[in-house]
Chains A and B, each alone.
Chain A
Amino acid sequence: MSRLKFSFLLFLILLWGSESTAEEEKEANEEFTEALLLRPLPDRKVLAHFHFQSSAPPTQTYGRHHYIFPKSIYQLVHKFHIREMELSFTQGRWNYERWGGFDPISSSNAKPPGVELWADFDVPQNQVDDSWKNLTHALSGLFCASINFLEHSTSYSATQWSFQSSSSGKLRYGTLPREAVCTENLTPWLKLLPCRDKAGLSSLMDRPSIYRGYYHSQRLHLKSDEFDTSKISSSGIVLEQTLTVVLQPNTFSGKKLQPSWSLSSLFGRKVTGKCSLSNSSNVYVQFQQNLVSEENESREKSEAQKNEILIHEGSHNNPLFALSHPPKRVIKEVENFQKEGSILYEYSVEDYDEYGPFELGLRWKVPVIWSCQQAPLHASRFLLGSGNERGAIAISMKSTRSNDIEIAGLDDEKACSLRVGIFQVVPWYVKVYYHTLEVFLDGESQATMDNIEKIHVSPSEDKVSPGVMEIVLRLPCSVKTAALTLEFDKGFLHIDEYPPDANQGFDIPSAVVHFADFVANMSFEDNLSKEIPILSKLQEKIPVRSYTEVLLVPLTTPDFSMPYNVITMTCTIFALYFGSLLNALRRRRGEEERLLKGKGAEKGPLSLLLSRLSAKLRGKQWEPPKPSSSSSKKSSVNYKLVAKVVLVAGIAIVWQFYYQ
């Protein structure tokens, strides 16, 4: 019914819109762009970041049929009224210390191991959970992953404000830390691309070379404002797919020199031209501007001078390295006091084809060292305590070296402070005592509430919901280390609730640490770069965010092999209690004596009856009499027993004969 209404409304809107926005309609079209960003990393590795973006214009103006935009995603958005969604599959852990923690790629593409999914819905509050459950099932089918495990209310949580600042209480967040990620997840992801991996930059994705890397994270980000009625000009659905891999170039170039690489040596394939459906197809190579050759450093030549050389030369030939092709364009980041900028060399693959494939190479001329931009604090998380009864979670944050200078520059008029947000989801079987929250600054315990600016806790409920802690700490800038500890008790599960490998332990999903005062964005000098999605993405102002480690908590296991024994033995105890107590209460000594006395008198008629019965039996059968006659001499109790046995045997024999 609602769909009918909706389509009718749509029809009306279309009628109305067809006249007024006739020109705009032509303008708004489906778009697809692809880009690849390559960046050498200080520890002799190379970061490759594939970025594909497809967008569909709003349904109101464009209609429901698309030729580029994947239908499955479009249906997903419309069925579950998704405002924003992000799904990531990650294997390996982003090394924040070496690969950087302050740039847009590490803030938005470094993801926790396993699957992470969050979605913001545009449905009434009471339908959000249902939409989430259905969405997990749909995604599970779409991506061949066990995302449907996120359906249960113990595995997802509603975040208030810490995860996404613009959340309206309709955001749900769930992670599966133990999900193994492999090609079976990548293939459906590639299917969403118009050229799959047959043409364009995605043809570089040779499975063995991608999965050989130290880190790979495939991500799907969806944003739609189709359902936002307040907005007049909606931009439709934007689907952003990224694949971030950290690879080790396997060319050896001496001990000191950074390894030189080319696209074919990294991926084992070459780019044979762009995907013909894409609007732009670019490859970027990014260098940090603070590249310093080791010799120069030893001579203590000023860094700024070095940078100048780099920037001024601005070409593929400079004293430090050589690129195999001259770049189409050089994009420089505007330097600001917060951080040193980087420089991008742009290449377009449009002019290349099968006969002359695009092959980019980088060769280092002199040994260089540089360091990546670090987040103000480096966060790590670990468990305290031993044994399977209780423990504590500690999140420790270490100041990165360059930190205090930068922050001092940032806001020195205020009392210098550093705001750190922590968002942590803990499964219910780790029963956290939130009142034991303790904050340590430089190793000294603090009165907890002094440093907490904002806190929101929703404690875990057994078998219903996980515990969620959202907290914003305000730390002084001069802090060297900060730590946060929380005590917990380990829960005990029912035997059916343990996974098949119960003794491996249980995973606590990564905590998210974000620095609201710091934005990780690049700002480029020319305005042209805003038209290219990957560059506009890099310029987007997002808070610096990092994920901590996944924790492995071993839980005690019961004996899985003996439920029957436990049931029977416990029931025996209960029977013992019931029987013996009732017996003690029932017993009356006087009556017992009377009964004993009376037994002798009662013996006569009873034995008579039994003998009569036995005689009857004897008359009918010729077998039983022997034992019955012999037993008649014994005591009455024994006699009765034997008579019963004989009766049963006799019936059995009769039965046997009857059927023969």
Chain B
Amino acid sequence: MEEKTKAGSKRTKLGFWKWAIASIVLRLILSYFSKYLNLSSRPEVSTPLTSLRRLAEGYWLKQLSISPYSGSMYHGSPLLLSILGPLTAKKIEGHASHLLCSLVSVIADFISAILIRATGHILVTAHGHSLKALGLDKLFKDTVEILPSGDIAALVYLWNPFTIISCIGFNTSPIENLFVILSLYGASAGLVPLAAFGWVIASHLSLYPLVLVIPVIFLLGYGLDAPPRKLFVQSNLLVGEERSKDQVGVKNKPIKTTNFAWRRVVLFFFWATIWITYVLILCAISMKDYGGLAEMFKRTYGFTLTVKDLSPNIGVLWYFFAEVFDFFRNFFVIVFHVNILFMILPLAIRLNHRPCFLVFVYLAISSMLKSYPSVGDSALYLSLLVLFVNELSEMKLSFFLFCGYVGVSLLSPVMHNLWIWRGTGNANFYFATAMAYASFQIILVVESVSAMLNYDRKIRKLCTTPL
């Protein structure tokens, strides 16, 4: 994926808006024909959590004054139900039209792209600043030019086939992605209430963005992605010693960044509490007659965590839990979810100076290990990955990974078709592609993390060599 974007980087600088609008038009055209594409029931696109068809069922039940969670159809948020529900029920010329819903997801995608672009701009400027602070800017300018990663990431988000498919596939993942990106943007732009809002809504919608609280705190506390703070202190001391004689005032400036901004973090938690209570109150109101909040938690988060639905998806958990002995089921449910949590601390320790990258890693890990993954999740982390084109330019295996992603996304529908529709294949065929996909994601995460660490090492080396 990187190769493509790098090649097109010069073009994008010229016509970002042209390409963005072209992608929107493509989406609109495709969503008009989405009836024939039948993407809404693809296992890759809509999961039990995100499917709009299930949401429509929940809304219909609610209209009959039955709890939307009665029956095992709907597992999303009650807020989404009251916002998107009326849109699913609207019928244009007899046939149930999801056009309005896909319009919503097109808009969500567009806003996400804009926010990614803004975040990218902030990151690039921060990158430039930090290099300048380390005195490496000239060194870098000679060898590599700094790419406008925001534009590229936004275009990758808009033109990624995964995003397009999930946008016209009638599901809520574009909206969930929007709130994740909103939170990231809010945190990187220093808009604490926005960051808190995005984080709360994203966690409310799909639970897994809950772990993003750590990178958001780092973002608000330490500021944007930068090389390790130790380097600043070192170079600061070195530079300071040299310059202390003539300029005293400059010395304080870089040191300030190493301080943890407690005030903003406290503010973030304050706002987060406000938003949480707000969301919970709204949910409680809409769930008043149907068992209250306890029912909602049981049916949404409980369903996510216990992996009750065993219908095939691109993850590995469904087949595992379809085959595993009931006796061990609880054990493995715990193990798999703890696997996400286990990695939080080591990553946070090692990458605390790169909170935006940490967001990418957390999202990639959770989209790989989550109970009902879809291609929408991959679309999100892939475009966030592109935000770091400058840093990750020396990433290994990127062509291999690109081929792997393409191969899996071509093979997986074929295997699914063989198994489900033709009956000539069996479940193992499809599961094999799911395992391959998981492996590619693992390689992507590991390689990108080590590329990022290598980049930091390189900077350190460059910082220390002039001595």
Contact = CB atoms under 8 A, between A and B. Distances in A.
A621 interface: no
A388 interface: yes
Interface string A464-497: 0001000000000000000000000101111110
- DSSP class of B's interface residues: helix, strand, loop or mixed? helix
A639 B453 CA distance: 35
A567 B427 contact: no
Interface in B376-419: 419
Contact of A462 (B309, B339, B369): B309
B336 A458 contact: no
B420 A585 contact: no
A570 B64 contact: no
A580 interface: yes
B428 interface: yes
B311 A567 contact: no
Contacts of B61: 434-435, 457, 459
Contacts of B53: 433
Interface string B434-458: 0100110010011001100100010
Which of A388, A457, A567, A581 has the most CB atoms of chain B within a 10 A radius of its CB? A581
B349 to A, nearest CB: 8
Contact of A489 (B70, B311, B336, B450): B311
Interface in A383-421: 386-390
Given A435-B56, A459-B71, A567-B323, A573 B316 contact: yes
B342 interface: yes
B449 A493 contact: no
B59 A577 contact: no
B320 A584 contact: no
Contacts of B222: none
B421 A386 contact: yes
Contacts of B466: none
Interface in A565-587: 566-567, 569-570, 573-574, 576-578, 580-582, 584-587
Contacts of A492: 309-312, 318, 322
A461 B438 CA distance: 30
Contacts of A589: 457
Interface in A28-52: none
Nearest to B335: A574
A567 B453 contact: no
A578 B322 contact: no
A136 B239 CA distance: 87
Given A459-B70, A585-B346, A563 B323 contact: yes
B15 interface: no
A501 interface: no
Nearest to B436: A573
B442 A580 contact: yes
Nearest to B68: A459
A433 B446 contact: no
B457 to A, nearest CB: 6
Contacts of A574: 335-336, 339, 369
A371 interface: no
A242 to B, nearest CB: 37
A337 B139 CA distance: 103
Interface stretch (A205-213, A344-352, A552-560): A552-560
B85 to A, nearest CB: 10
Contacts of A457: 61, 64, 66
Contacts of A386: 421
A434 B60 CA distance: 8
A566 B431 contact: yes
A577 B320 contact: no
Contacts of B453: 584-585, 587
A445 interface: yes
A458 B317 CA distance: 29
Interface in A414-446: 428, 431, 433-436, 445
A55 interface: no
Contacts, number: 148
A460 interface: yes
A562 interface: yes
A563 B322 CA distance: 9
B326 A491 contact: no
Given A435-B56, A567-B324, A585 B318 contact: no
Contacts of A389: 41, 420-421
A455 interface: yes
Which of B61, B73, B317, B343 has the most CB atoms of chain A within a 10 A radius of its CB? B73
Contacts of A388: 420-421, 423
B94 interface: yes
B419 A556 contact: yes
A493 B323 CA distance: 9
A568 to B, nearest CB: 10
B365 to A, nearest CB: 8
A582 B346 contact: yes
A575 to B, nearest CB: 10
Contacts of B234: none
Interface string B336-355: 10010011001100100000
Which of B60, B321, B335, B350 has the most CB atoms of chain A within a 10 A radius of its CB? B60
B308 interface: yes
A589 B458 CA distance: 11
Contacts of A491: 310-311
A416 to B, nearest CB: 26
A577 B326 contact: no
A577 B310 contact: no
B36 interface: no
A70 to B, nearest CB: 41
Contacts of B317: 570
Given A433-B53, A558-B323, A570-B320, A577 B339 contact: yes
B186 to A, nearest CB: 28
A563 to B, nearest CB: 4
Contacts of A496: 326
B319 interface: yes
Contacts of B339: 574, 577-578
A584 B442 CA distance: 12
Contacts of A567: 320, 323-324
Interface string A137-171: 00000000000000000000000000000000000
A447 to B, nearest CB: 9
Which of A455, A559, A562, A584 has the most CB atoms of chain B within a 10 A radius of its CB? A584
B41 A434 contact: no
A186 to B, nearest CB: 38
Contacts of A458: 66, 70-71
Which of B56, B70, B365 has the most CB atoms of chain A within a 10 A radius of its CB? B70
B368 interface: yes
A11 to B, nearest CB: 46
B273 interface: no
Nearest to B346: A585
B323 A573 contact: no
Contacts of A387: 420-421
Interface string B73-86: 10000000000000
Contacts of B365: 577
16 contacts: A389-B41, A428-B72, A436-B96, A458-B70, A492-B310, A492-B318, A557-B427, A558-B322, A566-B324, A570-B316, A573-B438, A574-B335, A577-B365, A577-B438, A577-B446, A578-B343
Given A559-B428, A563-B324, A567-B320, 18 more contacts: A388-B420, A431-B72, A433-B54, A461-B71, A462-B308, A467-B71, A489-B311, A494-B310, A495-B323, A496-B326, A556-B420, A562-B428, A563-B325, A567-B324, A577-B339, A577-B438, A582-B343, A585-B453
Interface of B: 41, 53-54, 56-57, 59-61, 64, 66, 70-73, 94, 96, 308-312, 316-326, 335-336, 339, 342-343, 346-347, 350, 365, 368-369, 419-421, 423, 426-428, 431, 435, 438-439, 442, 445-446, 449-450, 453, 457
Closest 10 CB pairs of A and B: A459-B71, A435-B60, A462-B72, A563-B323, A387-B421, A584-B450, A492-B310, A566-B323, A577-B442, A558-B427
